[in-house]
């Protein structure tokens, strides 16, 4: 997500609140990451899924759609989704 100038904190706070609520309501979600770069206004959420179908279920969930709609006016453009391969995880 690319926040409009002056809207970074609002979008970030909304994303964090959404992520917490989503995690609480979806017991199968073990890890939800939200990262941001205030200098560029970019905020990204990261999910790790076992399959493409599982990822699409989350992205298309009503709660996720409602969240995207709630911040749409605060964004420069429509958010895009990217699939990445998880190549390494280190957990201590």
pLDDT single digits (tens) 13-63? 999 999 999 889 887 778 899 999 999 999 999 988 888 888 888 888 899
Residue 24 belongs to some domain of the structure: yes
92 in a structural domain: no
What is the span of the domain harbouring residue 41? Answer: 8-74
Q: Is the pLDDT of residue 90 over 80?
A: yes
Number of compact structural domains in the chain? 1
- Does residue 85 belong to any structural domain of this protein? no
Residue 83 lies in a domain: no
Return the DSSP state at 2.
B
Determine the pLDDT at residue 26.
80
Quick check: is 91 in a domain?
no
Looking at residue 49, its pLDDT comes to 82
The answer to whether 34 and 44 have CB atoms below 8 angstroms apart is: yes
How far apart CA 52 and CA 36 sit, in angstroms, is: 24
Which residues lie across from 46 on neighbouring strands?
33
pLDDT of res. 78: 93
């Amino acid at each position: 997500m690319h926040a409009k100038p002056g809207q970074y904190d609002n979008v970030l706070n909304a994303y964090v609140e959404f992520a917490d609520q989503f995690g609480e309501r979806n017991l199968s979600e073990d890890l939800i990451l939200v990262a941001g770069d205030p200098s560029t206004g970019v905020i990204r959420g990261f999910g790790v899924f076992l399959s493409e179908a599982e990822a699409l279920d989350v992205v298309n969930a009503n709660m996720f759609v409602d969240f995207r709609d709630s911040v749409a006016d605060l964004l420069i453009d429509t958010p895009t989704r990217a699939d990445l391969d998880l190549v390494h995880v280190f957990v201590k």
